[in-house]
Structure 1
């Protein structure tokens, strides 16, 4: 059963990865670059902080910082526990896919988990101002996640697990922030 799932994951990766073309490679490299979205993060942070007191801004920044650290470190824990090579580092796969720079392990995707945690956290924080923003942020997270498949850096199951973990992390840290706010009101 596990072997069939891994084989399906490999076949699905090759299918999705080969949908791309050289003319789109640059676009997906920009999407996958963590620095690309810094301006968006700063704008969203501004809107999250705007209605908050100084104390609440401090709690918000602490919550976001710990969410990113938590998500990143759990991702690394999984990578070094399961030691699943990235597709672009596996013989028999790398010859069949378009690929970005490659090293290390890939299960599960840190880009996917961090972007989804951010999407959920920010979407919940700003839902009173923009009730549909969370859907746009989730779509953005899925695009970032797909960039990892497009570039041959992750298998689809790496992405799916990363996105799923990100949902829980984003929601959990939003609840932590709410609890801290109430406790230190």
Structure 2
């Protein structure tokens, strides 16, 4: 069963990766770079600080940062435990795929997917009562994670599992925020 899933994953990856067109290589190489998205991160925090009192915005910001540390740590531990080669390092397929990046390390699951979906989901949950349009933020993780297939460094299952882990982690941290921080903030407000 696992072999069948791995074969399906490889075949879907090869198909999606082969859709790449040289004219778009610069675009996807830029999209896959984390620093490209710095203005969006800044916007996330500006919106939190505009719409919430300073103390609450500070705790929301800290919650997002702790979430990122948690997700990246969990991702790294999982990668080391599973030890799945990235497509660009897999000799069975790396001669037939387009490779625009060549990171070492392991593939399962995608840190780009887990971190981008965790950040976006938590910020979405914090901001949705204040802005109706925040669901548009999901364009970022969708582009960001697809770019990992395009540049040849992640299989689709790496992306799907990473997105799931990131999203579920964000819901967990949102629940923890409301369980432990919201009551603290309420108790510090003057009557």
Q: Name the TM tier (shorter chain).
A: over 0.9
Residues 103-137 of structure 1 deviation map (CA, whole Å, 9 limit, x = unaligned):
11010000001100111111111112222422x22
Map 1:99-118 to 2 at 5 A.
99=99, 100-118=101-119
User: For 1:110 and 1:47, how far apart are their aligned partners in 2?
Assistant: 25
Shift in Å at residue 53 of structure 1?
Answer: 2.4
Shift in Å at residue 21 of structure 1?
Answer: 1.0
User: For 1:67 and 1:5, how far apart are their aligned partners in 2?
Assistant: 30
Report which of the two structures shows the higher radius of gyration computed on alpha carbons. Answer: 2
Report what 2:9 is aligned to. 9
Report what 1:183 is aligned to. 184
User: For 2:118 and 2:137, how far apart are their aligned partners in 1?
Assistant: 10
Report what 1:53 is aligned to. 53
User: For 1:53 and 1:123, how far apart are their aligned partners in 2?
Assistant: 17
User: For 2:173 and 2:19, how far apart are their aligned partners in 1?
Assistant: 36
- May I ask how many residue pairs the two structures share in their alignment? 184
- Residue aligned with 2:95, SS: helix
Greater shift in the superposed pair: 47-56 or 1-10 = 47-56
Shift in Å at residue 175 of structure 1?
Answer: 2.1
* Cα-Cα RMSD: 1.2
User: For 1:132 and 1:58, how far apart are their aligned partners in 2?
Assistant: 23
User: What are structure 1's unaligned runs of at least 5 residues?
Assistant: none
Query: What is the TM-score when the length of structure 2 is the normalising length?
Result: 0.92
Greater shift in the superposed pair: 159-168 or 49-58 = 49-58
Shift in Å at residue 166 of structure 1?
Answer: 0.9
Give yes or no for contact 1:9–1:157 (8 Å, CA) kept in 2. yes
